[in-house]
Amino acid sequence: MEFFFLNNHPKTKNMERSPPKDHCVLKTINLLTAKLTTMKTTIFKISAFVLLLSLMGAGCEKENHLDKQEISGYWKVFKQNISGEFESSTTPPGNAIYTDISIVIPDTTKGNISGNTFFNSIEADFEIEKEQQINFKNYGGTRIAEDNWGASFRENLLNTVEFNISKDELFFIDSQNQTVIVFIKN
């Protein structure tokens, strides 16, 4: 079997191949450039979308996570539920022993608070059962002529099942998903 090559063939030996027409080459180059640009753009868009989804997923996880230690500190009542009405903290009565209603959460691992109403010192134990779920028990303290604010504070504290923090505010929420006490950090 013999192979023939064009440049060795007697009829084509002296023939030169004509160069391609310029407009065909330019069309092909333009088409390839356009396709490459489209592919690069598509790959970039897909990469950006995947990155965005990754960041959103990471952001959501971080946003929902609340460090229990964030509730540690000195908290003063700003508003609370009194007889079904959400009221801002008032000026203490003239015969009040304390100037505010407040609590101190020294450490969430110990699970206790101390504090005061306008007339009495208080203390209670608590457990953080799951993230942001809290249960108060063993409420105690002095009981000298408690006013409506102090009685409501005790009831609201014992009805609290969840907490949330937004900047320097601590929210205690009851089983009806109603905010019952709003504290501000001191």
DSSP per-residue letters across 138-184 = EEEE--SS--HHHHHHHHHHHHEEEEEEETTEEEEEETTS-EEEEEE
> Based on the domain organization, do 32 and 105 belong to the same domain?
no
Q: What CATH number is given to the structural domain containing 121? A: 2.40.128.270
User: How many folded domains does the chain comprise?
Assistant: 2
From CA 73, how far away is CA 3, in angstroms rounded? 93
Please list the pLDDT of the chain residue by residue as tens digits (186 residues).
554 445 555 555 555 555 555 667 677 777 778 777 888 788 878 877 787 777 776 654 434 445 666 889 999 999 999 988 999 988 888 889 999 999 999 988 889 999 999 999 999 999 998 888 999 999 999 988 889 999 999 999 999 999 999 889 999 999 999 999 999 998
> Based on the domain organization, do 93 and 61 belong to the same domain?
no
> Based on the domain organization, do 60 and 81 belong to the same domain?
no
> Based on the domain organization, do 106 and 167 belong to the same domain?
yes
> Based on the domain organization, do 132 and 54 belong to the same domain?
no
**Predicted local distance difference test score (pLDDT) of residue 22:** 65
> Based on the domain organization, do 54 and 76 belong to the same domain?
no
CA distances from 174 to 60, 96, 111, 166 (A): 25, 28, 19, 17
> What is the span of the domain harbouring residue 53?
1-65
> Based on the domain organization, do 178 and 130 belong to the same domain?
yes
> Based on the domain organization, do 114 and 72 belong to the same domain?
yes
> Based on the domain organization, do 58 and 73 belong to the same domain?
no
**Predicted local distance difference test score (pLDDT) of residue 176:** 95
From CA 161, how far away is CA 181, in angstroms rounded? 12
Which tokens sit at 148?
A: 């409506």
**Predicted local distance difference test score (pLDDT) of residue 66:** 54
> Based on the domain organization, do 76 and 161 belong to the same domain?
yes
**Predicted local distance difference test score (pLDDT) of residue 60:** 47
The predicted model scores a pTM of: 0.64
From CA 27, how far away is CA 164, in angstroms rounded? 64
